[in-house]
A and B are shown apart, each in its own frame.
Chain A
């Protein structure tokens, strides 16, 4: 899924996958921090954003 989205122009680093058990609190915190840092670094999303003005 990630491959096709990135193939069609989604920035690498926008979409993340992880497998975290409910018992892995520290892993959850770590991954959440990493994801938010990576996404913040990319700036606002440009891909698959719906803007009303584009339809005429």
Chain B
């Protein structure tokens, strides 16, 4: 990990010094363990702030929207797909970007680690190739990274960036034999009442803080529908129906665009798995329109094209 960090720093310094980019977007070590933060570097001397390990689960594409300068940006598989989505939605131009691709081996699920140590306070985390070690007052434990991956990384099929100008390191092997939508299929098997109960329970604790929306690179509308008051599209209380309406609408806004980067789930203070909404849409997009978001700069997404053989069984 430290080698990759060094490489990122070197590349960022070079790009900033020779004027290829005005700003470099990467991660820096967070103020608490397992929570690395996005950082924008303008001065080559600050490039040593950059950092890389398996706690870089936020989506950097969030910081591209509407920028007019030239940007260097670090991109994992899912981040690169979000960047592609940004480009085809005209939120940024490809020629403004210098994409530094980084092959990814997944991000650590900080909640699972906290559970594993019985919620004792972790003060440090270090990583080797396939294991990581957490330290706190009076304890030190080592885990296999593969057992503590974020839910989305466990089922990720595009760990290598799809679009880049330069790649750091060799591509990693993609995960084989994964069943990407087993969770969605299990819910599909439930009865209507059970589905209803499942989703009600799922969002039961939601406090409508909108951290999930803020972390999402797709949520770039100048005024989000939840913040509008004239007209007010959705109730602002934590009434279960209002909350469900928020989650349903947020998910629909991501239909055919979500790359399952997991940023929303990562940031939720209540530990809600709101990916269950977007994942159903991702599955439908894939099943009905053979579409996975962010894989191609030339193809248009299913929701902005019409084909006479589009799925329309639901229309009478």
Per the CB 8 Å criterion, the residue count for chain B at the interface is: 31
**Number of CB contacts from chain A to chain B under 8 A:** 66
A37 interface residue per 8 A CB criterion:
no
B280 interface residue per 8 A CB criterion:
yes
Q: Which one of A16, A46, A48, A54 contacts B316 once the chains associate, using CB atoms below 8 Å?
A: A16
Is the Cβ of B277 less than 8 Å from the Cβ of A4? yes
Chain B binding surface, main DSSP class: helix
Chain A residue, CB-CB nearest to B281: A4
Is the Cβ of A49 less than 8 Å from the Cβ of B241? yes
Q: Which one of B193, B235, B281 contacts A50 once the chains associate, using CB atoms below 8 Å?
A: B235
Is the Cβ of B277 less than 8 Å from the Cβ of A8? yes
Is the Cβ of A4 less than 8 Å from the Cβ of B251? yes
Per the 8 Å Cβ criterion, residues 186-215 of B in contact with A are 187-188, 192-200
Q: Which one of B184, B245, B315 contacts A48 once the chains associate, using CB atoms below 8 Å?
A: B245
B6 interface residue per 8 A CB criterion:
no
B30 interface residue per 8 A CB criterion:
no
Q: Which one of B198, B235, B315 contacts A9 once the chains associate, using CB atoms below 8 Å?
A: B198
Is the Cβ of A18 less than 8 Å from the Cβ of B316? yes
List residues of A whose CB falls within 8 A of some B CB.
1-12, 16-19, 31, 34, 46-50, 54-55
